[in-house]
Amino acid sequence: MPATSDTNCLLHCMCGGRVLREYLIRVALVAGVVLCSSGCMLKFDAWAPKRNHGLSIPKRYDASLPPVPDVTTGLLVLFEDEQLSAYVDKALEHNPDLKGSAARLEESGFEMRKASSSLVPTVDLNGGVSRSQNSIRNSRSRENIYSAGLDAQWEIDVWGRIRAGIRATASNRDALLADYESARQSIAAQTMQSYFNLVAEDQLLHLAQRRLESFEKTYQLVNRRFENGTEDLGDLDLARTDMENNRAQLFKSENLRDQAARQLAVLCGAYPDAKSSARSWPSMKHGVQVGIPSALLMQRPDIDAAYHRIRAADSRVQVAHRDIYPRFSLTASGGGQSSALKDITDSNFSVWSIAGNLAAPLIDGGSRRAELGAANARAKEAWANYQAAVLNAFREVEDGLGSELYLHRQERALGNALAAARSAESRILRNYETGLVEILTLLDTQRRAFNTEEAFINIRALRYKNRVALALALGKGL
């Protein structure tokens, strides 16, 4: 009997049940020998540490402030400002970077479905038609052959390699979900800070206009005194110098204000024009509830993402480790073949087969062992990245808490300095009009008053933006 017939007989006999079981037992025995000879002594360093493993976490923040009576737990309720809330809502809906993060999250869902599909058999439908011709002496015969069939294949996940891959994909999806939440919070915080920047630049622009008007009045006052012969040309030139310098500062302030408006427009997913506007400073009556440092590990979405990437890397180590073991699979096929298309589904023309397969790596040049070592190294890298994310988060909180204290003190001191500077400016102006002081004293007093007000506006902007940064650093959410 030809070899092909022997093979078909063996496959048909295996379907009887008893022979198939004996065959699979032999396959398992061979697999055991292969494992003992090549895989059992392999080093397997897979591990998934806890969130606080190896981290020194204090009981309280070093720069923590006394409890604030009125506290809030979200970015969007820090400030009661309808215009600010409208900009944040627009950014969360239209920001292109946030849309990209959402698309990556959507992609991970399909990757999860793709990984899970490896646990179920695959079935392929195939069909074909061929035409042949035989010539014997003066006779010719033509024949059409039609065929159709189903091929099925299923890998038995004996060692859990496929399930480990599914866990890795699931952990990666969890990381992307945390990335998306982190992106939403970041976009909201950036929009709020950009809004405060626009408020500051708008106020600085009005300050520049008032400063120019003030120095123009001073120049006119000096010019009248020069025409009356009570002031010399040098004093007039000094007054004109300060006036023109402040005119140049006005143009600079207009440019900075337009740039701040364009930045806010881009964050909201709109064309970067300078039409965005901002009102005055909103009320800052809400404080931020600090909590304890250990809670930060669960509140920050970027830390959560880094932790899930550790778990994903750990599962991929398991995949690389199991890949060294033999693979078991079952294949089956069935179908029909006939010279008449209508007879393909006829059982008299059907053929089928089923087989069990074993594939075990014997010699691969160390490729699988190298992949296992690389997977272990990537797991260690993920753990180091997690530690860096945690330490950076603690630094951001400590910086935010420290800045909250010092910026408040700076703002209060500058407020007192501004009140004193305005009082001094009024007195020096009266003294100059009566001839008690020189023009240099008046110009210096005016510059000091306006510079103090400019510093006051900048400090207030920093304090508002730091309040947002602190809430973001603490993972307060939206």
Whole-number mean pLDDT of the chain?
Answer: 84
Contact 443, 218 (CB under 8 A): yes
CA angle 170/172/175 to nearest 5° reads 115
Lowest mean per-residue pLDDT among 204-208, 296-300, 318-322, 394-398: 296-300
Q: Which two tokens stand for residue 51?
A: 């969130």
| The pLDDT value given to residue 83 | 93
Q: Is residue 307 helix, strand or coil?
A: helix
Average pLDDT in the 307-329 region? 93
**Amino acid 337: pLDDT:** 64
Lowest mean pLDDT among 11-20, 48-57, 177-186, 298-307: 11-20
Residue 58 pLDDT:
81
Contact 447, 388 (CB under 8 A): no
- Domains assigned to the chain: 1-41+121-156+326-359 (2.20.200.10), 44-119+159-324+365-473 (1.20.1600.10)
If you average pLDDT over residues 261-284, what whole number do you get? 92
DSSP β-ladder status, 287-288 and 71-72:
parallel
Measuring CA to CA, which residue among 453, 464, 477 is closest to residue 285? 464
What is the C-alpha separation between 262 and 272, in angstroms, rounded? 4
Tell me the pLDDT tens digit for each residue of 127-161: 877 777 666 666 666 777 777 788 888 989 989 99
Tokens of 176: 């992307």
pLDDT per position as a tens digit, 83-100 = 999 999 999 999 999 999
Average pLDDT over every residue of 109-116: 92
Q: What backbone phi and psi angles, to 5 degrees, belong to 72?
A: -135, 160
Taking only the tens place, the pLDDT of each residue in 443-476 is 999 999 999 999 999 999 999 999 999 999 998 8
Cα–Cα distance between 406 and 409 in angstroms, integer? 5
pTM of the model: 0.80
pLDDT at 42: 46
Q: Stretch 189-213: mean pLDDT, rounded?
A: 96
Q: If residue 155 lies in a helix (H) or strand (E), which one and from where to where? A: strand 139-156
pLDDT in tens, 336-368: 766 666 666 665 556 777 888 888 888 888 999
The sign of the torsion formed by the CA atoms of 338, 344, 349, 354 equals positive
Question: What is the predicted pLDDT for the residue at 33?
Answer: 43
Residues in the chain: 478
User: Does the pLDDT value for residue 8 go beyond 90?
Assistant: no
Q: 436 by DSSP, 3-state: which?
A: coil
Beta bridge partners of 353: 333
Of the candidate ranges 52-66, 178-192, 412-426, 430-444, the one whose mean pLDDT is the lowest? 52-66
Kindly tell me if the per-residue pLDDT of 39 is higher than 80.
no
